[in-house]
Amino acid sequence: MSRKKILKLEENNLVARKIRDLRKLRGLTQAQFGELLGVSNRTISNWEKEVVPVPKSAIKNICREFDVTEDWLLGKSAKDPVSPGPIAPDSKLGRKEKKLLKEIEDLLESGNQAIIADLKRYIQMLRAWADKRK
């Protein structure tokens, strides 16, 4: 591989951590994450363990697939790109559910990072619980 197509060691270490964090935040296994990117779970594991460098082409795919910026993934921007956007209430939801979604949206818009982190962890727990019930 040419020098331009692979990351510097420091960049790769950061990208490896961010890939792992992004994958976990989205509640994906390495296999699911790899499937979305068209690579094996072993490749994802090797990236996360920093065994092999993450190719720049993969970085572009990750950014596109998970709606994050390359600057964030490479550590050039501190802005948390994985905060969900506005929640579009489903017409099938009742009044109580719509009110709850509005409250969650207000919390996300507040910018309080501790609350946002807690909400993300809670969502992950709910997803895991729902997966076990299937």
With cut-offs at 50, 70 and 90, classify the pLDDT of residue 88.
very low
Q: What is the pLDDT of residue 38?
A: 92
Q: What is the pLDDT of residue 85?
A: 42
What Å distances lie between residue 35 and 53, 64, 71, 132, CA to CA? 19, 14, 24, 21
Instruction: Assess if residue 82 is contained within a domain.
Output: no
Q: Tell me the CB-side half-sphere exposure of residue 91, using CA atoms within 13 A.
A: 0
Cα–Cα distance measured from residue 59 to residue 74, given in angstroms and rounded to the nearest whole number? 9
Q: Is the pLDDT of residue 104 over 70?
A: yes
Q: Are residues 69 and 99 in the same domain?
A: no
Question: Could you report the per-residue pLDDT of 33-81, keeping only the tens digit for each?
Answer: 999 899 999 999 999 998 988 998 999 999 888 878 888 888 887 665 5
State the residue range of the domain holding 53.
3-73
CATH code for the domain in which residue 24 is found:
1.10.260.40
Instruction: Assess if residue 43 is contained within a domain.
Output: yes
Q: What is the pLDDT of residue 81?
A: 53
Q: What is the pLDDT of residue 134?
A: 64
Q: Are residues 115 and 53 in the same domain?
A: no
Q: Are residues 22 and 57 in the same domain?
A: yes
Whose CA is closest to 43, among 62, 71, 26, 25?
62
Please count the structural domains in the chain.
Answer: 2
Token readout for 2 is 């040419």
Q: What is the mean pLDDT of the chain?
A: 77
Instruction: Assess if residue 33 is contained within a domain.
Output: yes
User: Which has more pLDDT, 25 or 3?
Assistant: 25
